Amino acid sequence: MTRRPVVVTGVGLVSSLGESLGEHVAALMGGEPPRIDAERFAPYPVHPAPPITWDPQIPKKSDQRQMEPWQRLGCYAAGLALDSAGLKDDVALKARMQLIVASGGGERDWAVDGQILTGLRDAADPGAYLNERLMGDLRPTLFLAQLSNLLAGNVSIVHGVTGASRTFMGEEACGTDALRIAEARVAAAQADIMMVGGSFNAERPDSLLVFEMGGYLWSHPYVPVLERPAQGGGFILGSAAAFLVIESEDHAATRGARTLARLHPVGSARTRREPGDVERSIERLWREAAPAPDATILSAATGVAGPTQEETVTLTRLGPGRPYHALGDLVGHTLEASAPVAAAVGAGLILAGHASDVVAPIVGHRRGEGLVRLSAMS
Amino acid sequence: MAADTDAQGRPLVAVTGLGLVTSLGCGQDETWAALTAGRSGVRAITRFPTEGLRTRIAGTVDFIDLDALSAPLLSERLAELAGREAVAQSGLGRPGDFPGALFMAVPPVEMEWDQRRELAQASAATGEVTYVDLLRAAATGAFRPWHDLFTFGTVADRIADRFGTLGSPISLSTACSSGATAIQLGVEAIRRRETDAALCIGTDGSVNPESLVRFSLLSALSTQNDPPEGASKPFSRNRDGFVMGEGAGALVLESAASARARGARILGYVLGCGEKGDGFHRTRSSPDGAPIIAAIRMALDDADLGPDDIDYVNAHGTGTPENDKMESLGLTSVLGERMKSVPISSNKSMVGHTLTAAGAVEAVASLKTIAEGRIPPTINYAVPDPAIPLDVVPGAARDAQIRFVLSNSFGFGGQNSCLVFGAEPKTAT
């Protein structure tokens, strides 16, 4: 089946570094130190979200209030992407624009959780006590801020993007697969234009808790991602959101859109993560993507011992001498948002003329290997 | 014999395997027998204390033996049972070696209160418990398996591992339309010729105190606890909300060409999918029903059918005042006057709302309806709603020759997905 060329025409990116593509590219090229908050969740550092004035992208306070931070961040980045694509006011096009969002969810009310746990300790009838407190203390609207698909729902409400809407869950891999399926749908003419992205809020003790149970969190002062495996390994979570508007090259040309980069077919794989599996996956995905000899490598490596080393060794072997950046040193580990963030930064590098070809390997901390490739238009 | 491609030249998508688990039983035959007998699987919740709750009933699946009960473990087990039945029926691949992709609608998982309590206890905190205490307990490494248990991708990853599906498994959520979305994604992948086969599963085993309370606080649940089997009353004037249910539905989808080439028995076809987002409100539909109408029309167009071709509607039919009114409005707008005589029924009147699984569970029921020539009823229809003048097949199953079924799924967040199933594509009949 003939594949239509797919191009990126809009990017929205928010992280600890700010909310412009330029700031991210400058930080990457200038090797600036990351912005880290080491105090708030000590001993676990995080890359915090920047201060944001929400109103320009989420005008209604009632909408802002109805979202938890991960949704707000994502909704904001989606607005930036629409602006960047010149589509903010194109009501008709947004109404048929399809959406794939990579997302976690389940943000909790930590204070309520703590109070209930405290009370449960001495409750004569724990079951009845739990019911009473949940009925009395949970905010009814919190549920809607917890549902994974409600980031997409908020993008529909706030921005009027109301074509087909799908939410993929599942840590790093779901971001890769969101890009993969979005690209494939446009390439196969199942859609002309799509918005795809993800969002992650690192500043959540309930989220830190899940990863700390698995032993994946870095609990020392910042050390660059690729140096961490030798010191026990681990990731520093980062708050970030990225959305991309992608469309067929013809569709972009017809509407006179500015094209930022080409998006190539996205590769993803699942293995059992036996030793050597990451290496084999990355090698296969690399060969399928066939990056240019001067391609810049933009790795979303987590810093977790094992997969990070396998990835690094493999990439160094496959693409020796290429510019090599670890996204984690820039924005932290952004879980579901990793692949969209990588694609956004990659598009930024290409737009700024720092690269003509970018490959972004996305190796999940527990599962899933992927490779996203973008290249310059010419 | 039907062609291998549809009117638009895309690969026709055949269904060659079905699997079903609900509160009515394990396997498509048990559930189908109960559904057509008009039996309810809704009962008083015994899994946890229900004191102080407004709703104390659900269509729980209580016949599964698990060492420890949690939503992800039960969801995984339900998916495995349904998946195994579907794959066995299809005869595709070998055990542990399914030659196609996996698309799974899974409930968004979260750590539950049992685990939070255990962490709090392990932290030995004596004052106010905070997440600092829980994190301290987590750092001991004693709770490692819970990382996997409570990450979003694990259920699908384990199913992918067990069934040996190809590529990266998709875990998806579109709230209460998730099961339909899983099928859509499978259809789209086959139409792109990316894969010849897909295993599409919707699963949900998340009846626990907090899930129940969340829906309860949104006033979404029926509070008519007694008798439990009478609570789910879709399309009735006295309907007062849905009843949570558990279950899983699984479908093996294959390109018609590859199904025929291996001599597989084709159970029916997924002929069309339609989907339209709604930006009106987080939980309510646009008052004019435009997105629902658009989704139904798109599904019919995609199936190359007209409104007059639909013989039966498998309703979303949750039994909430809002849903049933809007669904009726949407259907009547597209099918016109004829909608008054097109049979429509809600499986949820018997199995409750299986949430993430519902679209897949109801897809299986839709295909059984075609295959068996029998329409399961809407039970508990004692007080008709004059505002919804539809033939809801009240009380008892009805025999009918059904060629084309429309199955609706709607969800919070403005999700509207409609699927059309057929015995054969229209061009071949």
Q: Rounded to whole angstroms, how far apart are CA atoms A66 and A154?
A: 9
- Is residue B3 scored above 90 in pLDDT? no
What integer is the mean pLDDT of A118-122? 96
Of B354, B263, B369, the C-alpha closest to B58 is B354
Q: Would an 8 Å CB–CB cutoff place B117 in contact with chain A? A: yes
- By Cβ distance, the residue of A118, A127, A212 closest to B51 is A127
Q: Hey, are the CB atoms on B129 and A118 less than 8 Å from each other? A: yes
Tens of pLDDT, residues A285-332: 999 999 999 999 999 999 999 999 999 999 999 999 999 999 999 999
Beta strands in B161-215 (DSSP E): 170-173, 197-204
Which residue type is seen at B297? R
CA–CA gap between residue A34 and residue A16 (Å, rounded): 8
CA distance A121 to chain B (A): 8
B244 touches chain A (CB under 8 A): no
B192 CB within 8 Å of a chain A CB? yes
Q: Could you say which of A128, A165, A216 has the minimum Cβ distance to residue B49?
A: A128
Q: Which of B110, B131, B279 sits opposite A110 (nearest CB)?
A: B131
Put simply, whether B161 touches A (Cβ < 8 Å) is: yes
Cα separation, B256 vs A208, whole angstroms: 47
d(CA A298, CA A285): 15
Buried b vs exposed e over B143-153: b needs ≥16 C-beta within 10 Å? beebbbbbbbb
| pLDDT higher than 50, residue B429 | no
Residue A77 clears pLDDT 50, i.e. is over it: yes
Quote the mean pLDDT of chain B.
97
For residue B120, the chain A residues in CB contact (below 8 A) are 117, 120-121
What pLDDT digit, counting tens, does each position of A248-283 carry?
999 999 999 999 999 999 999 999 999 999 999 999
CB proximity A119 to B under 8 Å: no
B278/A contact by beta carbon, under 8 A: yes
Q: Where are the domains of chain A?
A: 6-106+147-375, 110-142
**With 70 as the cut, is the pLDDT of residue B230 above it?**
yes
Beta-carbon separation of B174 and A368 below 8 A:
no
Q: Which domains does chain B have, with CATH numbers?
A: 13-110+150-422 (3.40.47.10), 113-149 (no CATH)
- The arithmetic mean of pLDDT across residues B73-88, rounded, is 98
CB contact under 8 A, B111 and A44: no
Give me the pLDDT at residue A378, please: 78
For the stretch A240-250, pLDDT in tens is: 999 999 999 99
pLDDT of B1 above 80: no
Residue A159 DSSP one-character state: H
The CATH code of the domain at A6-106+147-375 is 3.40.47.10
C-beta of residue B382 within 8 angstroms of C-beta of residue B247: no
Q: What is the pLDDT of residues A20-47, one digit of tens each?
A: 999 999 999 998 899 999 999 999 999 9
Instruction: Examine the pLDDT at A134 and tell me if it is beyond 70.
Output: yes
Q: CB A168 to CB B188 under 8 A? A: no
Q: pLDDT band at B2, cuts 50/70/90?
A: low
Best residue of A4, A41, A112, A143 to probe chain B, by most B CBs closer than 10 Å: A143
CB contact under 8 A, B277 and A164: yes
In whole angstroms, give the CA distance from residue A190 to residue A187.
Answer: 8
Alpha helices for A149-269 (secondary structure H)? 150-159, 171-187, 205-213, 249-254
Tens of pLDDT, residue by residue over A329-378, are 999 999 999 999 999 999 999 999 999 999 999 999 999 999 999 999 97
At B295-315, the pLDDT tens digits run 999 999 999 999 999 999 999
Cα distances (angstroms) measured from residue B227 to each of A43, B41, B291, B405: 53, 12, 36, 32
pLDDT in tens, B254-297: 999 999 999 999 999 999 999 999 999 999 999 999 999 999 99
pLDDT of B383-399, one tens digit each?
999 999 999 999 999 99
Report residue B187 CA to chain centroid gap.
Answer: 16
What number is the ipTM of this complex?
Answer: 0.98
Which residues on chain B are in Cβ contact (under 8 Å) with A161? 277, 279
Which pLDDT score is estimated for A1? 63
Could you read off the pLDDT of B172-200 as tens digits, one per residue? Answer: 999 999 999 999 999 999 999 999 999 99
Q: Do B282 and A150 touch (CB under 8 A)?
A: yes
Which residues of B are catalytic, by number? 176, 316, 353
Q: What's the first-to-final CA gap in chain A, in angstroms?
A: 24
Minimum distance, in Å, between the CA of residue B278 and any CA atom of chain A:
6
